[in-house]
Chain A
């Protein structure tokens, strides 16, 4: 690996214009003033970069907004597309797998059962696939301006989150239709969604960083995701899997998340064991991916 390390030492937090102007006044008089920023070529690790990402949160939100706006700008149906796609898929799945193939659904209405799984999966799929090409697709920004590159796949995940929120609104009429109980368990939804976001970000960052260096990642990825979909209990419940293989399925972080999302909506007891495993895997994955991303980030502008 020929990557040279790159260290930024920030002597001061990103200042306001007034503070910076004052700093400049002082520095004009006194050369011994510490620099605002030092760039060094050499072998140093600069950390995972979450702090810097927080400072650039305005930009993250703005780029997310840009993604969303562009996606729906010239469509007739606009945001409605975010609902139609999972809705139609759910209808097809219900007919095909629920009615025809008679796949079990742990006693719950197959429509809701599969819809929750679909929502989570669509979000994950969109976020990851989008992230993988996001860096290369925004090469014009990466080669001309500085900002933490984490922001770019972050914006893709954010846009996918927005789509998820829109599509999730369909749950309300569905729950009413099937006369589901609205229990306190629904309050856990944001937590599970957060976990879902962590998983999607973890995989997305990894794919994004790798795609810059190895361009065929974006061709390998759809295949990988397809396989992943089959080993995720979206159209089937975990109980459908033979007991001795359940541990394998549990390693898939999406398994625990989807199982518990369903539990919230269907007012069942939570699956703590799988949740614990999912959390562990998700957080480790995110940390690892961020690490890979940050190491490869140095070469982005040169490779794109």
Chain B
């Protein structure tokens, strides 16, 4: 179990390098009398007034024993700083932390590895550095090497290893840490896809053994599948703590709010020549998040329009990749929904995608507003009208996602295996 109370970490900013030279120290010492007299006159610049950065600001939370907690937030939000403080690598400026168990930190792959030493030597070295006793490492040695799949190369210097082997071995050592509390900092971001899959699997195993895990990651799918609760950090402050889906949604909402979710269409530069200005504004949202949504989530594109005469609106949306390549388009012109409705002078027309099949990324939307009464053309066309952010999400419940190189769209499929007997002559 881990309890954090009022932890604050302050770093001093300044043009001066964090380390300075004896020469400078001497100069400061010599200038000291001048500083003292200035202080007495009250014009001195006190150390406390120097510009500083609050990497962490009064963060408090408690984690129950055996819980797996994800920590998310933007880069610079203080996630790594928090782990560093919990690992005793750096200390808090203020606050208190109670740790009810030994702490093992996985802040980096291959801590302690030296290229000149053999794999065997490095396992013992790295294990000892991470805090394992020699006997413990010896006991787990075979398991570590087996997990890394480097049995044949265990006695060659590590500098001969391929990067994959290196990373596997390094992770294998760290994965066999048996401390009650485990702190993991984005180590799943290294290695190839196959390796990441195994890391995830091992993390899952670790989570099931009842250890307390604090897990920093940008991989929302992993967080969702592994963690029971999630902490959101922003600008050094604790923004929220709760179930992963809720916190992740909050995170995304905040990210998108900064970029703006709705857009004014009246003067949009992308409006095609010859269009009649009818689209006034467009909102894109999904499950309470503006401007974007999660893979596979319900997405709504809603347009506010005003027409010079009553129309039965047709609303087509074409989704394009960030570099402009079209992916797919939808229109109620083809489905004939709303074709028999009462004509309107203005209002809202919403296009809803029940399960958005887009891979994570940024997309552009082209919007076409028309009238069922005029099948020959669209009345108001705006190209690249809004951007859409799609966030990763654990769509299969396994923590794994389709590969980006397979394309911008994912699709549902099922598999079936059956044995086939020998064919008869």
Contact = CB atoms under 8 A, between A and B. Distances in A.
B23 A39 contact: no
A131 B22 CA distance: 18
A41 interface: yes
B362 interface: no
A15 B101 CA distance: 9
B55 to A, nearest CB: 10
B19 to A, nearest CB: 5
B186 interface: no
A14 B1 CA distance: 17
B117 A69 contact: yes
Interface stretch (A16-24, A236-244, A263-271): A16-24
A36 B130 CA distance: 18
A222 interface: no
A217 B25 CA distance: 12
Interface in A25-44: 27-28, 31, 33, 35-42
Nearest to B21: A216
Contacts of A21: 180
A229 interface: no
A58 B92 CA distance: 28
Contacts of B12: 2
Given A145-B129, A146-B87, A217-B22, A27 B99 contact: no
17 contacts: A4-B94, A6-B91, A17-B178, A20-B102, A23-B101, A24-B100, A27-B65, A31-B1, A35-B99, A35-B100, A38-B96, A39-B85, A39-B99, A41-B94, A58-B133, A74-B116, A145-B130
Contacts, number: 143
A142 B107 CA distance: 12
A38 B117 contact: no
Nearest to B107: A144
B211 to A, nearest CB: 9
A214 B102 contact: no
Interface stretch (A104-112, A118-126, A277-285, A295-303): A295-303
Contact of B93 (A41, A58, A69): A41
Contacts of A214: 19-22, 25
B111 A36 contact: no
A66 B94 contact: no
B184 to A, nearest CB: 13
What are the 8 tightest A-B residue pairs by CB atom distance, in nearest-first order?
Answer: A41-B92, A35-B98, A146-B88, A6-B91, A39-B97, A301-B90, A216-B21, A37-B99
A58 B133 CA distance: 8
A288 to B, nearest CB: 18
A10 to B, nearest CB: 11
Contacts of A303: 18-19
B121 interface: yes
Contacts of B114: 66, 70
A69 B158 CA distance: 14
B100 A33 contact: yes
B54 to A, nearest CB: 13
Interface string B14-43: 000011111101000000000000000000
B171 interface: no
Given A141-B111, A144-B108, A41 B7 contact: yes
A302 B11 contact: yes
Contacts of B240: none
A39 B92 contact: yes
B124 interface: yes
A144 B88 contact: no
Given A24-B180, A28-B66, A41-B93, A145 B112 contact: yes
Interface string B153-191: 000000000000000000000000011100000000000
Given A66-B121, A215-B21, 12 more contacts: A20-B180, A36-B100, A41-B93, A42-B94, A140-B111, A141-B111, A144-B111, A145-B89, A145-B105, A216-B23, A302-B11, A302-B18
Nearest to B23: A216
A62 B105 contact: no
Contacts of A37: 98-99, 103
A147 B126 CA distance: 12
B8 interface: yes
Contacts of A302: 11, 18, 90
Contacts of B25: 214
Interface in B353-398: none
Interface in B59-97: 65-66, 84-97
The CB with the most chain B CB atoms within 10 A, among A8, A21, A144, A301, is that of A144
Interface in A190-246: 212-217, 220
B97 A2 contact: no
B96 A39 contact: yes
B128 interface: yes
Contact of A41 (B8, B87, B134): B8
A181 interface: no
A259 to B, nearest CB: 33
B262 to A, nearest CB: 43
A216 B17 CA distance: 13
Contacts of A99: none
Contacts of B90: 301-302
A20 B178 CA distance: 10
Contacts of A301: 84, 89-90
Nearest to B102: A20
A59 interface: yes
Nearest to B98: A35
B346 to A, nearest CB: 60
A73 interface: yes
B178 A66 contact: no
Contacts of B84: 143, 301
A8 B101 CA distance: 14
Nearest to A3: B91
Contacts of A59: 128-129
B420 interface: no
A144 B19 contact: no
Among B12, B92, B116, B129, max chain A CB count under 10 A is at B129
B125 interface: yes
B107 A28 contact: no
Name the residue among A28, A36, A220 with the largest chain B CB count within 10 angstroms. A36
Most buried by A among B23, B90, B94: B90
